[in-house]
Amino acid sequence: MSTYAIGDLQGCYSPLARLLDYLDFSPATDQLWFVGDLVNRGPQSLEVLRFVKGLGSAAVSVLGNHDLHLLMQAAGFGKANKEDTLNPILTAPDRDELLTWLRSLPLFHVAGEMAMVHAGLLPAWDVRQAQALSDEASAALLSPDYRDFLANMWGSEPDGWRDDLTGWDRLRVVVNAMTRMRFVTADGRMEFRAPGAKGPPERGPTDCVPWFNAPGRKSADHTLVCGHWSALGFRQTDRLLALDSGCLWGGNLTAVRLEDRRVFQIPCGQLARPTGWE
């Protein structure tokens, strides 16, 4: 059995199909890890959702910011973007089944010394705390009152963690860290608004570092598998696998076999015009 972690799809089903052929993937013996952002901006979000859902236990996925954006749009919250390509899902006959399945996905997944999250973890969180916080967010998404969570989920404040946070503020920090974060300040606050906050590390905001380089990061005892940061590109270190290599923008779709860290990439044709770093 092989486990392949795969970078952000964002509705790019055709490149995924080519990658799986290249891997000789078998759902009977192998497992896929998807780092989130299954949907949006690409032309085949509906096909991606149907495919990944249909894999059952052969696929593990965490939620990304674009997946949460879809859930918000379906519930009537948030602002639609002109670059969105979500309408085929919102008008599909199996819409409710797909959205219910999407709400069941976690923000964080741990297996042994490997852990997967779409964006990152705040420096103050070890893996055990991150799992507990992900479980809190999942409980809110699966609650009969999940629409209340979606209505209060978005926003960039608070920008840092405190153990005494409660209610929507607490869950908003969890969602922001795990699905939106790139840079943090020296005291562990997330930076979303400053110039360079979506760009590559070398052009990042002043007095900030990439979340994975934060001094004293408590999750550094695990290898973190993530995506979200196309301006970072593919990056592999002893304790990091960053897999968003910009397939949507004409880069590559990247998979890493977790058992031996072998890298597989296929080139992607440009399926959307960049409007800024994603």
Number of Cβ within a 10 Å radius of residue 125: 22
Q: Are 39 and 12 in contact (CB under 8 A)?
A: no
Residue 89 included in any domain: yes
Per-residue pLDDT at 277 exceeds 50: no
Residue 223 included in any domain: yes
φ, ψ (nearest 5 deg) of residue 115 = -140, 145
Residue 274's pLDDT is: 60
Residue 109: which CATH number? 3.60.21.10
What value does the mean pLDDT take over residues 28-51?
A: 98
pLDDT in tens, 140-178: 999 999 999 999 999 999 999 999 999 999 999 999 999
Residue 71 included in any domain: yes
Three-state DSSP class for residue 189: coil
Residue 10 included in any domain: yes
Per-residue pLDDT at 199 exceeds 60: yes
Residue 277 included in any domain: no
Look at the chain and report how many structural domains it folds into.
1
Q: For residue 172, give Cα distances in angstroms to 160, 181, 212, 254, 261.
A: 10, 12, 20, 29, 33
Residue 278 included in any domain: no
pLDDT in tens, 228-271: 999 999 999 999 999 999 999 999 999 999 999 999 999 998 87
State which residues form the domain around 25: 3-267
Residue 273 included in any domain: no
Three-state DSSP class for residue 91: coil
Question: Confidence class of residue 80 from pLDDT cuts 50, 70 and 90?
Answer: confident
Residue 276 included in any domain: no
Interaxial angle between packed helices 45-54 and 13-23, expressed in degrees from 0 to 180 and rounded to the nearest 10: 40
Per-residue pLDDT at 273 exceeds 70: no
